[in-house]
Every structure is written in C-alpha cells, then in structure tokens.
Structure 1
C-alpha cells in the first residue's frame, strides 16, 4: 500500500504524539477486513508514554487557553482545510482499515471537515448573557471557560468523525485533547494526528494541544480513572476496561406510510456500514396490514445489494470489521432461530476472503425476545408486527437504551404524539427518514444507557466548558440580594 506514504505512514509507525512522535509499548499490526491481510504496524503507548503525554497536554492547555477564541477558530479552520486536501486518501484509509465502503469513508472525513467549519463560526459566538441584576450599580454576567483537558476515546466504526465532533468543538472552547482510538484502527488515528500536528506546528502552538496515545484496555482504563482528565468522551470500544452500553435503534411503519420512503430508508439504516453504525436500525416495527408486503419488498431490495471490496465505487456493502464480529453475527442468528424467529434472507457467512456475512432479515419474533433487545453491531434486522399505536410506542421505550428512532406516517397527530412526552424516548427522534445519517448541526446523543451528554451541534459546546455566574459591583453602595438588610 505505497499510497499510504501520502499520509506520512510507513511499515511501522509511532503511536504516541505529544509534540513529538514516539511510543514504547506493544507493536500492533492492523489488518484489512476485506481480506484479513496485514496493512502496517503501530507502536502503542506504554503507561509511561501516557503519563508523559498527559503532562505535556496539561502544559499545552495553558498556552491554548490564553489564545482568543476566534484565533483558535482560525486554527481549527486550517485543520479542516488540511483534511479537505487529503479527503480521498484518508477516505481510502478508512475503507482499508475499518472496512466501510469508500464513499462512506470519504463521507466520514467530510463530517470532520463540516464540524471544523461549524466550529469556526461558533468560536465567535460562545459565551453567556449579561443578565439584569436586581441591585442598582451591579452587572450579572454568565462566563464560560474551558474545562481543561478533554480525553477522547473513539470506536472502530467511526474512527475519524467521532474524534472530529469532539476535538473541533473542544479546541475552539479552549481545551487540549488527548485521543485514544480503537486499536484496530490505529493507522487512521496516526494519519489524522499527523495532519493536525502540521497545522499546529505551522501556527507555532504546542503540538500537545492535540495529543495521541494509541493503545487498548490499559490506556483506556488509565484515561477513565485519571482525575487530570477534566472531561472524558467515551464511545463504545470494547477493548477498554469496562463495556460501554451499545445503542439500540428503532423504526416504526404505520399502514398510511409511503412505502417509497420506507424501503430505501430501512435498507440504508439496516445495511449501511454493514450494520456497524451506532444508529443502525435493528428493530423494524410494521403495522400488521402492511407487514407481509414490506417484508417481501425489503427482501427483494436486500437481494440487490452490491457486496464487494469497500474501495470499489460500485460496492454498497463491505465486510464486518473483525473475525470476532463475524462470530457475534452467527451467534445472534442462531439465538434468533432458537427464540422462534424465521430467517427471511441472509444468515450465513459469504464464501470469500475477508469478514463478509449476508445482510439478514428475521421475522416472527415477539417484541420482548431477548435477542431483539441485544445489540450485535451486525447487519441483522428484526421485523416485528404490531396492531395499534399505543403498543408500539410502548415497545419502543421498553429497552434500556435509546439513541435513534424513526416513524413513517402521514398522520400529523401521530407525528406530534411521537415527538411528545409519551412518544419516543430516544435522543434522536425522526419522521419519515432513516435512523442513520444525522446532520452535524444538531446535538448527537442518546438517553438511558446511551445517555451521558451530547456531541456535535446545537449547544453541545457547553459540555466542553465550565460556567461561572459573575456579579460585578461598579457602584459605591453595597445592596444585598433579596432586599436583605444586614447592618
């Protein structure tokens, strides 16, 4: 893969960056999921490397926090431009190392670019209001300051975008960042950090503002326990010390739904990224009057999905990320059968090199079957039949997780009931669109086991800052609040 040199990658690469490149931990080989062939090697961080990197990141923060927010935004803009210049080769690396199709790999880098653009504007708008004081000669100000050091632990399925959501916003807020990507996508972490490091160097600011510590459970656990981490963003890597709750997604189709929207939406949400998105649709609830028709049309659409090498522009569906993911897929299919499900299509490993499995539709399971409530990060869609709105809304909310959900209907009243207090309890609630493919301008995150904050748009920037309420007395008197007299 000689083209990897365009990203500054070699056969063996240092996996630690804190202003300089290094690493004294284990050397890990990364593999291509499409053929299980080795790509290159990355030397991971040791605990000593991690300790040094945290110290340098904390020192770098002292410099970064003093730089005016609009200037920080200008540097983030330059990072976006640098990513834009490498977008195709970075997208190719995402396909090669993660396994998603090329157009999705490019789209993921584009998402980071978009967040950089968004952050530039935000850098001139963050801040609190001046509030009316009840005391004469006083000003009441809401002041926002950076939290300090933001730890970012990302998963294999979005090895670029999730880091981008966090780092671009955290940086304009005045924070330093320390990134640990998934061990199986270490090359992507190194390549992205090299691009960022060049921009920081060109602007004569400390490189440790965007530090990197590649590693597995040992480094992740250290970050989770480190009180010097002022904020930790943690996205579902099972290599880390404790399991992060995975995300459940739901989709409901009523009998008045436009099936021309339903079929392509369900197909993309269930099959896109080979079912490995955090917003992948796993449960498809169909009204009993249209159940059989939709299943037949969906099975026909599944049969036409173009399976192949992820870097082939005609491919819509690539491999699973690891051999372990293939085993989880097979186990889930077997459990579905044992619990009363019928496999309409798929259910098998594809006979070709790499981690390829068939996209699968399962029908006949009850809404509360254990496998229906279990996330597998695999392209398995459980199609469930319902009769009335009330029961299906309840089924939506009966699980412990809640990231993304969508309803397909033309009934305006039903739409607003779905969006209301007795409707979906997910963090992302859609109408007549897929569960996948959120825009960067809205806050991204879930509820219940998939709660714990928001990333990307809206007012998510507030998570990366601490709020102070400041009262300034510019008069010569000392009136007390609430009219209290103390004399």
Structure 2
C-alpha cells in the first residue's frame, strides 16, 4: 500500500486501529490516494458507547452552557487556522474545486461562533399554570447521542451545519461520513481534542452504508439521526428511525427551478444560472437544474448561457484557475452521462456539452438542453451533475405552476425587477429557500431545508438548535397537597 495516506477514526478521544481498510479514490486521477477504516457493528457500538458515557456523566455532562460555548469558539479559532490544509484534503478526496473548498472552510468557523453564542441562551420558561398553589416551568434539554450521516459533495460544510447546533445544545455525536469522501472529516475531527473537548463528545465511524451506516442508524442508544444525502438513503433512514420512534432531520434531493422573467437584469441572471448549475460541477443539492425562461428572452438567454459556459476550464481541482472539476465518483459520472442520453431520447435538444471530454478523470462538460418539458425525466429527477434543462413559459402563472410541479422543494431562484412579483413568488413558490436576483447563497443565520420530498426539518439559524433539544415540563406543589388520590388534579 505504499504511497497511500492512512486515516483513522477517533473514539473516546483516541485514534483506533481499524479492523479492515478500504481505499479512497482521487476523482481527478481516478487512482487510490488514501486508506479509510472499514468499520462494522462492533466499531459502531464502541463509538456510540463512548458518546453515551460522555453524555450521561463526566466533564461534558457537568459543563455549564457558557463553557460549552467557549469550547465552540476555541474550536472555531483552530478551524480557521487549519482551513487551508483541510480544504486541500477535501479537494483530493472528492474533486471539489480548491477555490470553493477554501471559501467554505474560511466561512465555516462562523457556524461554531454563532452557535457557541447561543449555547447559554437556551431557556425554559415559567408557565402561568391554572392549578392554585402550584409552580410550573419548562426545561430545554439535549436529546442524547446524535448520529450525523454525511454526503460526499460538501462533507465538512454539511457536518458543521449539524455539529455546531447539536454540540451547543449539549448533545454528543457519532459521525458517519460518506464512504466516497471520509478523509477530510477524519482530519477535521482531530481538532476537537486540541480545542479541549472532553473524550467521547465527538466520535467517528467509517465504512459502507450496509455495514457501518445501518448499524449506526439501528443502534438503540442513538437518540436522533441527522442525515444529508440522496432520497433513497433518506427514506431508508426515515423508515428505520420510525421503527424506533427516533426524530430525524433529513436534507435530501432537489430539482430546483431557476425562474427568469423578461424584465430581469439579464447580465446578472446569466451569471446566476451558470453559478447555480455549473459551479461545483452541478454536485449540489440546490443546483438550479430546471431553468424556466420567459419566451421573449428564451433564445437570447440560452445563447448567452452557452457562450459563458462553453469556455469553462475543466481540469485539476487543486489548480485555482480551474472552473469545473471532476464528478466525485465513477458511478455518479456514469449516471450523469446516462441522464443526458435519456433526455435526448425523450426529445431534448443538445445546445452545449453532452459528452465527457477526452481527458483523464471523471469529467462532464457543462451541458445545456432545450426543448425540455416538465414531464421529461430530465426535468423531474435529480441528476446531480452539470446538466441544465431549459423550459420556456409565457406568464407568471405558468412559471409558478411549472416550478411547483415537482416532487421536490429544496430551493428556487427568481429573477425579476418587479417587486410585487417578488412577494407573490415568496408566497407561492414551494421551496425551503427562495433566492431573488441571486443564487446559492447560504448563511449560518438563515434556516435551510426542504419542502415535499426534499426533506424534513431545518439546519442553520436558531431553528437548528431547537431540533437538538427536547422540552421537559416541571410542576411543583410546595405544600405537597394530594386531596384525592383517585382523581386527576
């Protein structure tokens, strides 16, 4: 195994030797570059056990909320120092452009600072109870051990969206990254010990979904599951969680509509369309893969989008001049190419791209399809690649109907200079996030999640910390009066 970098899991504050290994493939070179532990039920049980002990007793359990917040701030400082190195690992592991990985990592400490500030703002309240002589109040308490299960496209960003609020609330965690992109998560988690977190608060397991993943979801001591990934995986987790009555947060797929009206600033709209679908090689859950364009500007807009995307530089994702990197896995690369073939067979017209470039690596060139209608598979199913489907519309009513005619509802874009239309869109569009004259902007302050089959619950913002808390009601009778033991009081 000469030349491969070994990564190890951390359980109870210590690195652990794996029972077995599997290889991580660099999607740019398509060759192995690292070895990742292949865990099973035994390793999962050890990680959950460590997290359970840390939650129930010891330093973390006794830590004041203010001290928890200070630990999160300390972690944020260390993360800022290590941002460049972690970005380089993620780029090597999943092919994300280094320029984007660096931008995400530099912004990521703000999640831990924001939720660190909320850690000691978690409050119960006194209740104006109708029982004479009684005192009633609520407590807001952590859930316990959370399973955080990650995808391969932006593992560290999506991990931070989960970790920061769940730790601020006082929970402990077992993290299961995707088998296709585990390395950056294992390097990231090393910083918690350096920041002073007690052993067992943050633990990791790695491996295949039907081995480590299934064992983690089914473990009796997991109190909640937070998952970001594909719809099929989300459904399987939801079913398993339901059997044990465990709460979930699920951020799943999307088929987001990016809607351009004729009155829009078309220069900005063209840039927004390209950013929404071709950035990150289309491997984002919010990708604006359905472009709805008002007919008077349809042809001119398609021409401008193709002209901007055609010369995009494909290549080494660690080269800061590269604009489109590789698809993260060979299976996903085949899936994207297959969807282009399906679209053409259904009658879509190829304006740009449509074939993998003649070069090494799992690349798909920016692809634009016209002649698409909302009933085609290319318009209804998530591709997760740099493939844009263009659908014309006549008026506002049709645009909003087309946008909502989807099983998904993660995000939408609206490009217009009509302020009244903006507010009508905000009311009518069925999406968890609506960008107006912008696209693909996120914030630790702004809740994020989906409608319909795009998931359950919200990450980011104050709503996120609520998802990792439960309410206890306390009723006290200072005089200990029990007038009739056979009747409710």
Q: TM-score, normalised by structure 1?
A: 0.91
CA deviation after TM superposition for structure 1 residue 216, in Å:
1.2
The gaps in structure 2 that reach 5 residues or longer are: 238-251
Match of residue 117, structure 2, among 121, 125, 136: 121
Query: Is the CA contact 1:256–1:411 (under 8 Å) kept in the aligned structure 2?
Result: yes
The CA distance in 2 between the partners of 1:432 and 1:479, in whole Å, is: 65
CA distances 1:433-474 after superposition (whole Å, capped 9, x unpaired): 11x231111111101111211112132111101112333445
Aligned pair count reads: 469
Q: Name the counterpart of 1:465.
A: 469
The CA distance in 2 between the partners of 1:71 and 1:301, in whole Å, is: 50
CA deviation after TM superposition for structure 1 residue 83, in Å:
1.0
What RMSD in Å do the two structures reach over aligned CA positions? 2.4
Q: Name the counterpart of 1:7.
A: none
Alpha carbons of structure 1 residues 59 and 298: separation in structure 2 relative to 1, 3 Å: same
| 1:433 and 2:438 matched | yes
Alpha carbons of structure 1 residues 137 and 241: separation in structure 2 relative to 1, 3 Å: closer
Secondary structure at the counterpart of residue 394 of structure 1: helix
Q: Name the counterpart of 2:225.
A: 232
1:72-471 counterparts in 2 under 5 A? 72-134=68-130, 138-200=134-196, 205-206=198-199, 208-217=200-209, 218-236=211-229, 245-420=252-427, 423-434=428-439, 436-471=440-475
The CA distance in 2 between the partners of 1:473 and 1:118, in whole Å, is: 39
The CA distance in 2 between the partners of 1:477 and 1:411, in whole Å, is: 65
Secondary structure at the counterpart of residue 180 of structure 2: helix
Q: Name the counterpart of 1:40.
A: 34
CA distances 1:159-198 after superposition (whole Å, capped 9, x unpaired): 1011111111111101000000011212112101112233
Which is further off, 217-226 or 283-292?
217-226
Secondary structure at the counterpart of residue 162 of structure 1: helix
CA deviation after TM superposition for structure 1 residue 315, in Å:
1.6
CA deviation after TM superposition for structure 1 residue 111, in Å:
3.8
Query: Is the CA contact 1:221–1:241 (under 8 Å) kept in the aligned structure 2?
Result: no
The CA distance in 2 between the partners of 1:413 and 1:130, in whole Å, is: 42
CA distances 1:137-156 after superposition (whole Å, capped 9, x unpaired): 55442321000001000000
Alpha carbons of structure 1 residues 109 and 486: separation in structure 2 relative to 1, 3 Å: closer
Query: Is the CA contact 1:236–1:243 (under 8 Å) kept in the aligned structure 2?
Result: no
Q: Name the counterpart of 1:12.
A: 6
Query: Is the CA contact 1:402–1:427 (under 8 Å) kept in the aligned structure 2?
Result: yes
The CA distance in 2 between the partners of 1:66 and 1:147, in whole Å, is: 15
Query: Is the CA contact 1:220–1:241 (under 8 Å) kept in the aligned structure 2?
Result: no
The gaps in structure 1 that reach 5 residues or longer are: 5-9
The CA distance in 2 between the partners of 1:347 and 1:17, in whole Å, is: 45
The CA distance in 1 between the partners of 2:488 and 2:8, in whole Å, is: 64
Alpha carbons of structure 1 residues 486 and 371: separation in structure 2 relative to 1, 3 Å: closer
Query: Is the CA contact 1:143–1:467 (under 8 Å) kept in the aligned structure 2?
Result: yes
Secondary structure at the counterpart of residue 319 of structure 1: coil
The CA distance in 2 between the partners of 1:418 and 1:372, in whole Å, is: 20
Q: Name the counterpart of 2:242.
A: none
Alpha carbons of structure 1 residues 383 and 479: separation in structure 2 relative to 1, 3 Å: farther
| 1:55 and 2:49 matched | yes
Query: Is the CA contact 2:316–2:325 (under 8 Å) kept in the aligned structure 1?
Result: yes
The CA distance in 1 between the partners of 2:231 and 2:94, in whole Å, is: 15
The CA distance in 2 between the partners of 1:464 and 1:144, in whole Å, is: 10
Alpha carbons of structure 1 residues 486 and 292: separation in structure 2 relative to 1, 3 Å: closer
The CA distance in 2 between the partners of 1:312 and 1:387, in whole Å, is: 42
The CA distance in 2 between the partners of 1:452 and 1:486, in whole Å, is: 37
CA deviation after TM superposition for structure 1 residue 424, in Å:
1.0
Secondary structure at the counterpart of residue 279 of structure 1: coil
The CA distance in 2 between the partners of 1:287 and 1:486, in whole Å, is: 64
Query: Is the CA contact 1:14–1:44 (under 8 Å) kept in the aligned structure 2?
Result: no
